[in-house]
Amino acid sequence: MSKTKVLLVGSGALGIVAAYTLEYNGFAEVTVVVKSGYKKASTEGYKIDSVQFGKIDHWKPTRVVSSIHEAVANGEEYDYIFVSVKNLPDSPTPCEDIIESAMKTNPNTAVILCQNGIDIEKPLIEKYPGHVILSCVSLIGCTNIDCVVSQMTPDNVQLGIFENPTLKDRARAEQILDKFISIYRMKDGKNVVKKDSNVRQTRWQKLLYNASVNTSTALTNLDCSRAAMTGCKETIWRPVMREIYAIAKSDGYTLPLELEDTMLNISDGLFYTPSMLVDVRLNRMIEVETIVGNPLKIAEKNGIDAPHLSMIYHLLKMVQFRIKENQGLITVDDSVKVYKTADEYGKGF
């Protein structure tokens, strides 16, 4: 039986764990696009220290490439494009544009968005009507620093189909979803893979953590445990979570009450560095729009007051500005003593 062809875009810790899982099971051949650290990944491979798999040295997927263009240069087609790169609609190249060349090679390619936030599927549905767009929500603690992947908690994944008015054959979409679940679920029970019948509900639930803990640790440069020592669970995290509860309810989704304390305490004792804080420390753009901006748009539309979330959003926008300037995406002429907005500075903002 031929193996399933998977193109994995986003070689962060979560992406590498996913690639290793797919090839560990033996049902897939994975091509990983590595933008940062390509030379080391392609020559030495990855060192993995995993609660699931143990210690592995010099691991490589079937293929390592430096770009999507290279991945499809010879007309290669993929059954699935697994997208775990950060979803950055405010970047020069948003997610739907990043995967464009791979989408063109196969009209039946399914896209799996393993990314944070709400409403992340809408740009892809608009640009690629008729394609199956799957949601992947992963609850996992892992980091990737210079091709060294540390996985502190087991992979717990929920996979489902985004609501998509352009889908003409729902039954086919279900088959595509079921197939990926079957090749990702480990027979020895080392990971948890569930079929998600309510994708939007699940994404609201994960936002409880990401909109509060992920964002505030990025702003303060403190890992979860150090941040909690300051008392922020009650002064910042819980108030933000309650605003997410209210926004989700206005969107038609009632989140479980007990989830608040679960998300407040999920990182206790781990001294875990959330993904947004990792990005800030590495001077990489952050997912401010999908994690905070999109919920705030829904809050505004539905008349929900969210002052804590709004404050976090505007502080993170300032951080994003700094990162973009450091990356050369924005050029500020500070010799001219005239105030300009970010939009007037233009490029990339």
Amino acid at 42: S
% of the chain surpassing 90 pLDDT: 81
Residue 172 Cα distances to 44, 161, 167, 238, angstroms: 40, 11, 9, 41
Phi, psi dihedral angles at 156 (to 5 degrees): -130, 110
In this prediction the pTM is: 0.91
Pairing state between β 80-83 and 110-113: parallel
The chain-wide mean pLDDT, for the chain, equals 93
Between 266 and 112, name the one with better pLDDT: 112
Q: Confidence band (pLDDT; 50, 70, 90) for 268?
A: confident
Give me the CATH topology for the region 4-197.
Rossmann fold (3.40.50)
CATH 3.40.50.1370, domain 201-327, yes or no = no
Nearest of 215, 279, 283 to residue 244 by alpha carbon = 215
Q: What is the pLDDT of residues 28-87, one digit of tens each?
A: 999 999 988 899 999 999 999 999 999 999 999 999 999 999 999 999 999 999 999 999
Contact 160, 151 (CB under 8 A): no
Round to whole Å and give the CA distance between 318 and 225: 25
Residue ranges of domains in the chain:
4-197, 201-327
pLDDT on residue 349? 38
Pairing state between β 54-59 and 46-50: antiparallel
pLDDT on residue 347? 46
